[in-house]
Amino acid sequence: METRTLGKQGPALSVVGLGCNNFGTAIDARAAATVVHAALDAGITHFDTAEMYGGGQSEEMLGAALGSRRDEAVIATKYRPRTAEEPYAPGRLAARIREGAEISLRRLGTDRIDVYYQHMPDPDAPVEEVLEALDGLVRAGKVLHIASSNVAADEIAAATAVAEARGWAAFTGTQIHWNLLNRDVEDSVVPAAEAAALGVVPFFPLASGLLTGKYRRGEPFPAGTRLARSERFAAAATGDNFDRIEAYEAFAAERGRTVGELAIAWLLAQCSVTSVIAGATRPEQVAANAAAATWVLSADEAAAVAAL
């Protein structure tokens, strides 16, 4: 599978990554290992998890599944944010970041985190505290690269300026919610990331399954699916979105492809995108996501899809 460099100096990531947020929630350790091995065998080397996924089980399952194949993988994880119940005091978030890194290293069974993410910005802590703590982890060799997620355009600019002024390790990429049904970031976060030379890593590329074809207009959600389990995700199953989904399905079908492949291929056609994170609970889903990387949209095709 093709790889792309995250930002200016980040690691090489497979263009399709495996999101591990289902580990410890939707699937158990045995199923997670099957999914991880299917991903490696498909050429996927980018694995994304977080300290808080599955109450910690996601990291444990990923580390155990990789086992002796750990060096084939680029592991990205995220520290657990300070909760709203924890009042902020100077230095408290820095301590949380350092603690989170040690917890993740232990759970993953590794001596380094390849990409360590700020899971989300802290509304009270200065970005200087975050970057100084992360820089310390990089200098200690416990973290190789750092990145952000769920940030606004102005937060990207501020973090970039502070890191440059202080000579600290800088974010190499940013993770954002971006797909064919959720495109608000295109006028704000994406241009800011490009200006800062950050690689963009979209998550939820399949819109919680809406862009896979498993949900049909006017039909009940299949039992056990995310939309059947969550009213929050089910709210996206609107008439307008089904109009768009059906248009995307027709575009893909004319080219002998699926709408899920189109959803990933379209993101990969965006010049700012380094890797697309797609979750999976079964090997066949991994194979479908990996197949999307073989479809390279032309500029005209990408523009036509965007116009739909």
pLDDT, residue 149, reads: 98
* Domains: count for the chain: 1
Distances (CA, A) of 100 to 84, 107, 132: 17, 11, 15
- Average pLDDT (207-218) is 92
**Cα(57)–Cα(108) distance, integer angstroms:** 10
Distances (CA, A) of 122 to 81, 94, 103, 203: 7, 11, 20, 20
pLDDT, residue 278, reads: 97
Q: Report whether 130 contacts 119 (CB < 8 A).
A: no
Three-state SS at 256: coil
Go through the chain and tell me how many residues it has. 308
* pLDDT tens-digit series, residues 280-292: 999 999 999 999 9
Beta strand extents in 171-306 (DSSP E only):
171-177, 199-203, 276-279
pLDDT category at 84 given cuts 50, 70, 90 is confident
Q: What is the span of the domain harbouring residue 106? A: 3-307
CATH number, domain with residue 278: 3.20.20.100
Question: In the block, which residue shows the tokens 């910005």?
Answer: 121
Nearest-10 crossing angle of helices 259-268, 239-253: 90
pLDDT, residue 156, reads: 98
pLDDT over 90 at 113, yes or no:
yes
* pLDDT tens-digit series, residues 87-109: 899 999 999 999 999 999 999 99
**Cα(236)–Cα(14) distance, integer angstroms:** 29
**Cα(199)–Cα(106) distance, integer angstroms:** 28
Residues annotated catalytic, as ranges: 53
